[in-house]
Chains A and B, each alone.
Chain A
Amino acid sequence: MIKVTIDGRDIEVKEETTILNAARELGIKIPTLCYSEFLEPYAVCRICLCEVVRGKRSRLVTACNYPLRDASVSILTNSARVRNLRKLNLELLLAQAPAAKIVQDLAAEYGVTKTRFPIKNPDEKCILCGLCVQVCENLVGAGAIGFSSRGSKREVSTPWGVEPETCILCGACAHFCPTGHIVMTEEADERILHSELTLGPNAAISIPFRQAIPNVPRIDVEHCIHFKTGGCELCSKVCPKDCIDYQMKDEIEDIDVGAIVVATGFQDFDPTPLKQYGYGKYANVLSSIEFEQMNNAASPTGGAIVLENGEEPRSVAILHCIGSRDENNHKYCSRVCCMYALKFAHLIKEKTTAEVYQLYIDMRAFGKGYEEFYHRLLEEGVNVIRGKGAEIAPIGGKFGEEGLLVRCEDTLISKFREIPVDMVVLCTALEARDDSADLARKLNISKGADGWFIEAHPKLAPVSTTTDGVFLAGVCQGPKDIPDAVAQGTAAAGQAMKLMTVGELFLDAAYAAITDEICSGCRICNGLCPYNAISFLEDKKVSEVNAAMCKACGTCAAACPSGAITARHFTDDQIYAQIEAIFA
């Protein structure tokens, strides 16, 4: 450690610390243009000039790359001599890049308003600091841009001025450019747009959403510069805890389990094919999940309910049963929509002054306290209309910029109505996931006509399936609201726990057994068993069934040529007796 004096203030720093870093530690501001903490100092803009005083002698150095080595120096960052030279430098920079805002501002700060040097191009912004070139070469590793020509013709460009093949469109050069000379245009469709109002993450490393569990950032490998060129690694350079590991990979792990709880949930019905509602056509027609996202305090609007143009809606229509209770789509009731639609109405009333219209077929407030909530909403002045929304039409403008018209039949007064609104929320159906058939096949469980998984018995075994050890929880078994899903999930977990705590497995009494005396040892049954429960005993020359592995399908019994196999509880004698009883 050495002790130096900067502008009359003492500081102890490590040897080889640059003047710039030492000054920053003291909170002394030294202007820079071409400096980046992530790159080797290039010391080309000469704005960070400082005076190093050793005894009676003083010399001018660039703060960004001058290392402090002995204690006997004092540094002046803002002396008259330094200021004079900075002014001259600024005049030179103004001549090179008269259009660069950052240079103009800095010049104004130093009282420089015009330059004595000839201006080559009044629109020039590039100060030839070389940050972009360094970033592209050393950080990104693409090497797509560089300096060309010499002297007064020096400029930053791509090789031969054509679009370079090595450019990966990462935009790092534009990000580092201090003057805004390099701009990324949005023409290249490969770019992720960094908009203020996106619903998702907008950088290659980010926390997926605010309440994500685990609440840690993850790298979007597809867009991360490091995974394209092997360079960058900026995030690991700034991470104080050294948490970033680029070697991490997606892994597929095999886990041995004794029970499986299927809780795969649902997917949202896509209302786009229902052209009459204009979803995807009119900007202010939202699906319920989109409205819910906007309502979230962590949403880009901060939970404010706004239209596409950022204004507060004057009136909102909430249309129930979009895709459910519908002969053309799903015949079942999605169960949760009535209540969340009422919640939406409550939130709209709370956050805005808008009129709310509920268009329902039947108001199904079935749960504890639900009916009371419905009545509370009526008292809050929500307009409820018994009749399904038939059509959404634009009012004025090509795409209904001035509003939307909801057409419906109010069945309680037997009249057609047209309601002008600013925003429409479609309460879309819950539907079984597209991939539920794959899962059903993998786990050997059944799927109903609606696509939901079927429980072993609707009343006696509501969380079990026909496969031992596989249980159902939540909407994957059928539409249900959160309390019901939690109840079922708890029950399923309990069933799974039961298997674990007992320690012993109770088997069904139905299984196949082979009578040694009759078995001829033909081994036909051995290959038929899907569970490999039948083995051949070489010493006795007969086959034997492992009762613990047998699932009692009886395929072996049907195939045994000598009738040596008894499918217990479904024996040949029992079935023949049934047939005899039916037809006798």
Chain B
Amino acid sequence: MDFEPKILGLLCNWCSYTGADLAGTARMKYPPNVYTVRVMCSGRVDPGFILDAMRAGADGVLVCGCHPGDCHYVEGNYKCLRRIPLTKKLLEGFGIDPRRLRLEWVSASEGGRFKEVVTEFTEQIRALGPLKLNDWAFAEQPLEVHEAA
């Protein structure tokens, strides 16, 4: 069976979620691999969400926010812009390809751009293959392992 990536999309309420909505109301066709979770701002994206999604079985995480300067909360997207590279470093440390995490700017009017971003990112994750985590990295009982050591 072909590999169908499962991707988590964290979209900001004001730009990207509306942009995704526009792609939907405009009946644009794009891969169904992105599962979206709405947050108020890309600044709300806790790196923990990304790590948790990958633990839970996501093959990639797409974070979308307003274009720089257009943030509904003035500067939330800049905070996201700083957090994502740090998270990528963290992923590298875990042995996860940082290309599995992507930050994109999609405005409320860019339904077409949302479609392109999703299509391209899905193809990239498909090429990277399924995310396989070592058993120890995100095992259910990490505390016991720690205590035993």
Chain A contacts to B: CB under 8 angstroms: 440-441, 444, 446-449, 454, 466-467, 510, 528, 530-531, 551-555, 557-559, 567, 570, 572, 575-576, 578-580, 582-584
**Distance (whole angstroms) from the CB of A531 to the closest CB of chain B:** 8
Across-interface contacts of A570 in B (CB, < 8 A): 39-40, 44
For the A-B complex with A553-B43, A579-B37 known, give 12 more contacts whose Cβ atoms are closer than 8 Å. A447-B109, A510-B40, A528-B43, A551-B73, A554-B41, A555-B43, A558-B44, A558-B47, A578-B37, A579-B49, A579-B58, A583-B8
Render B9-43 as a binary contact track against A, CB cut-off 8 A, 1 for contact: 00000110010000000000000000101011101
B98: interface (CB < 8 Å)? no
Q: Measured between alpha carbons, how far is A570 from B12 in the docked complex, in Å?
A: 12
- Decide: B56 and A554 in contact? CB cutoff 8 A: no
Across-interface contacts of A576 in B (CB, < 8 A): 49, 52
**Distance (whole angstroms) from the CB of A514 to the closest CB of chain B:** 16
**Distance (whole angstroms) from the CB of A582 to the closest CB of chain B:** 4
**Distance (whole angstroms) from the CB of B83 to the closest CB of chain A:** 7
| Number of chain B residues whose Cβ lies closer than 8 Å to a Cβ of chain A | 35
- Decide: B79 and A555 in contact? CB cutoff 8 A: yes
Q: Measured between alpha carbons, how far is A454 from B109 in the docked complex, in Å?
A: 8
Contact for B40 among A441, A531, A554, A583, CB less than 8 A: A554
Of residues 105 through 138 on chain B, the ones whose CB sits less than 8 Å from some CB of chain A are: 107-110
Across-interface contacts of A528 in B (CB, < 8 A): 43, 79
Across-interface contacts of B8 in A (CB, < 8 A): 579, 582-583
Across-interface contacts of B37 in A (CB, < 8 A): 575, 578-579, 582
Across-interface contacts of A551 in B (CB, < 8 A): 73
Across-interface contacts of A572 in B (CB, < 8 A): 46, 48
- Decide: A580 and B56 in contact? CB cutoff 8 A: yes
14 A-B pairs whose Cβ atoms sit less than 8 Å apart in the complex: A440-B70, A448-B108, A467-B72, A531-B74, A554-B39, A554-B40, A555-B79, A558-B46, A558-B79, A570-B39, A572-B46, A579-B53, A582-B37, A583-B53
Contact for A555 among B6, B56, B58, B76, CB less than 8 A: B76
Q: Measured between alpha carbons, how far is A186 from B134 in the docked complex, in Å?
A: 86
Q: Measured between alpha carbons, how far is A575 from B49 in the docked complex, in Å?
A: 8
B101: interface (CB < 8 Å)? no
Q: Measured between alpha carbons, how far is A412 from B5 in the docked complex, in Å?
A: 52
Contact for B35 among A467, A567, A582, CB less than 8 A: A582
**Distance (whole angstroms) from the CB of B88 to the closest CB of chain A:** 16
Chain B contacts to A: CB under 8 angstroms: 6, 8, 14-15, 18, 35, 37, 39-41, 43-49, 52-53, 56-58, 69-70, 72-76, 79, 83, 107-110
Interface SS, B side: loop
Considering only CB atoms, which chain B residue lies closest to A529 in the complex?
Answer: B73
Across-interface contacts of B48 in A (CB, < 8 A): 572
Contact for A466 among B58, B72, B75, CB less than 8 A: B72
Considering only CB atoms, which chain B residue lies closest to A452 in the complex?
Answer: B109
Across-interface contacts of A575 in B (CB, < 8 A): 37, 39, 46, 49
- Decide: A555 and B41 in contact? CB cutoff 8 A: yes
**Distance (whole angstroms) from the CB of B69 to the closest CB of chain A:** 6
**Distance (whole angstroms) from the CB of A477 to the closest CB of chain B:** 13
**Distance (whole angstroms) from the CB of A495 to the closest CB of chain B:** 19
Across-interface contacts of B39 in A (CB, < 8 A): 554, 570, 575
**Distance (whole angstroms) from the CB of A460 to the closest CB of chain B:** 13
Across-interface contacts of A567 in B (CB, < 8 A): 40, 44
**Distance (whole angstroms) from the CB of B65 to the closest CB of chain A:** 11
- Decide: B58 and A583 in contact? CB cutoff 8 A: yes
Across-interface contacts of A531 in B (CB, < 8 A): 74
Given contacts A579-B49, A583-B57, contact A446 B70 (CB under 8 A): yes
Q: Measured between alpha carbons, how far is A299 from B35 in the docked complex, in Å?
A: 61
Q: Measured between alpha carbons, how far is A531 from B41 in the docked complex, in Å?
A: 14
- Decide: B14 and A466 in contact? CB cutoff 8 A: yes
- Decide: B73 and A558 in contact? CB cutoff 8 A: no
Q: Measured between alpha carbons, how far is A446 from B52 in the docked complex, in Å?
A: 32
Given contacts A530-B73, A567-B40, contact A558 B45 (CB under 8 A): yes
- Decide: A441 and B69 in contact? CB cutoff 8 A: yes
Contact for B74 among A454, A530, A557, CB less than 8 A: A530
